[in-house]
Homo-oligomer: A and B are copies of this chain.
Amino acid sequence: MEKSASLAYRVKSSLGADRISVIATPGVQHQLHVATPPEFPNGIAGVWSPETLLLSAVAGCYVNTFLALANKFDFKTSALACEAVGTVAVVEGKYAFTNIRLYPTLTLSEEQDEVVALNILEKAHRYCLVSNTLRCPVEMHEKILLPAAA
């Protein structure tokens, strides 16, 4: 794929009688079930919400970006997890996310260098496609776990 090319993505959301939307995207068999979260009037517990989907997009994109960069640096990723925590508040009369914090946890293997790992973690933060689409700040608080001493 050329770097200058633009890519297109598409989803379709259909509202059910139970106020839960079913969302599908071409080429993916699995469908999402999404509703207003319980903190809002008529919200529904136990299903994904646009709020948690947005955070999933950020966390998932962070991990994907890390993998792409790790590949370039010839860095084998053994264990990587990433929490995302977001705050929603009213800004100028409208709800929006005001802040998102990413907590990636990377576990190194014996021969891996912490400085290289930190460099990739920071680059992934800078190049995350979804974060770069957001208006609110996305902070990163990384954790690097060293292999247990022999």
Enumerate chain A interface residues (CB-CB to B < 8 A). Answer: 1, 3-15, 19, 21, 23, 25, 27-30, 32-37, 39-42, 45-64, 67-68, 71, 77, 79-91, 94-98, 126-127, 129-130, 132-136
Is there contact, CB below 8 Å, between B57 and A53? Answer: yes
Q: Which of B21, B46, B54, B98 contacts A130, CB < 8 Å? A: B54
- The dominant DSSP class at the A interface is mixed
Question: Could you give 26 example pairs across A and B, Cβ below 8 Å?
Answer: A1-B41, A5-B89, A6-B87, A6-B88, A9-B49, A9-B88, A12-B81, A12-B82, A13-B62, A13-B81, A15-B77, A15-B79, A23-B60, A25-B48, A28-B46, A28-B47, A28-B48, A30-B48, A32-B48, A41-B68, A50-B130, A54-B54, A54-B133, A91-B132, A95-B127, A97-B133
Not counting A1-B41, A13-B82, A96-B132, a sample of 13 additional A-B residue pairs whose C-beta atoms are within 8 angstroms of each other reads A8-B85, A8-B86, A9-B37, A9-B49, A11-B55, A11-B56, A12-B82, A49-B64, A50-B64, A51-B61, A53-B57, A91-B132, A95-B127
Of A29, A91, A96, the most chain B CB neighbours within 10 A belong to: A96
